[in-house]
Every structure is written in C-alpha cells, then in structure tokens.
Amino acid sequence: MVLSKPAGLLSQGESTGDFNLVDWCREYFGRNYVGLVHRLDRNTSGLMVVAKRSKSAERLTEALKKGQLVRIYQALLHGNLSAPQEWIHFLKKNEATNTVTVVRGDSPGSKEARLKVKPLKHYRSAFTLAEFELDTGRSHQIRVQASASNFPLAGDSKYGAPKSALTRPALHSARIRFPHPMTKEMIELTDELPADLTKFIASL
C-alpha cells in the first residue's frame, strides 16, 4: 500500500507511546504484521510504501538497497539555489539528542550521505523550492545536508533556519517509484504539497 503520511504522525512507535502509522496500518489491515520498508521523520509529510506481507517487504527492501525504490522529495530552502548540485557529506547521529551533525569521513561512527538536488522555483531570491533525490537514506539527511550547504529548510530551526510561521521543516515526500513486488511492473505515484506548505509559499 502506498499512502500519504501527514506531518505530525510518527512512522512507528517510540517511547512517547503516541499513535503512529504502524498502529494505523494494523487497524486498517486487520492484522498485526506491517512491513515498514522505509520511514519519514515525524514532521515530514508525503508518500510512503508499506508492505502487507513479509515476502513483499523482503522484495521492496531489496529494491531499496539496489536503488530501484526511488524517493523524490520537495523542500523549501532559504537562499537562492541557482543550479543542480550533488551533495556528499559524512554524518553522525547522536541518539541521545536525536540530532545529526556533519563530521569528517574518518570520524568513528560516521556514515556517507549522498543526494542530488535541483531548483524548481525561486521566490523573491530568498527562497528556493527544490527537488531532492536520495542516493543514501540517512537520518535527517536532507535537513542536515541542506543546512551544511547554507540552504537550511524553511521552518527547520533545529538545523539553523530562522523562525517563521512554519511550525515544521518544509519537507515533503513528493514522488515514489518502485517495481511491484509481485508483478515487477514499475509503479510511480506523486503527492502534491500539503496545505501548510502551499499556504506558506503563497505568502512569500
């Protein structure tokens, strides 16, 4: 099943005990098993693919590892990104604070993070609506790499953006492409920006 996760909903359960996407899927499917193939941060909206059975989960996870499950994001950035770029950094996560930092490649626990970004539209030379394609899937990857490249996401005060009317990072999973786990037919789905982001963009 492919669904559009709203911002504010956890992908899976954590220590808070808050209702989450896995809980919702268990109710919807009417059984306990839910194959969560990939995750979105709590305050990231947009498309996710969820497997209803373990065999599908295995095949979708394998497609993700091979780069056949492609995730395209849109984000509103501070600054004027003038041309497509590839960003490569080494990231390290602090589990205690749930924050990620850019570190040297030889730092213990560091993981390489790669993505491609291209501008879609500019607003007053102060903001850029950009599209991201992940080559790796690290925690907070787009947010941290954008900040490290001096293009922090609007609303993302955790990673350097100035405070604004947005109450969450302007990040949305806009398109997903993957081979069907049984038929191998390529499936591609898109999801428009949600109301909170379109409202903020309209105010620029």
Dihedral pair phi/psi, residue 76, rounded to 5°: -100, 120
Amino acid at 185: E
Q: Show contacts of 20-25: CB within 8 Å, 24+ apart.
A: 21/48, 21/50, 25/1, 25/50
Using alpha carbons, list the distances in angstroms from residue 151 to 17, 51, 170: 34, 34, 12
Count CB atoms within 10 A of the CB of residue 75. Answer: 27
**What is the DSSP secondary structure assignment for residue 158, as one 8-state letter?**
G
Q: Which of 23, 41, 135, 156 is catalytic?
A: 41
Judge whether 144 and 100 are in contact, CB under 8 Å.
yes
Does residue 18 have an active-site annotation? Answer: no
Using alpha carbons, list the distances in angstroms from residue 112 to 46, 87, 92, 103, 145: 25, 10, 9, 10, 11
**Closest among 90, 94, 114, 112 to 103, alpha carbons compared:** 90
Kindly list the catalytic residues: 41
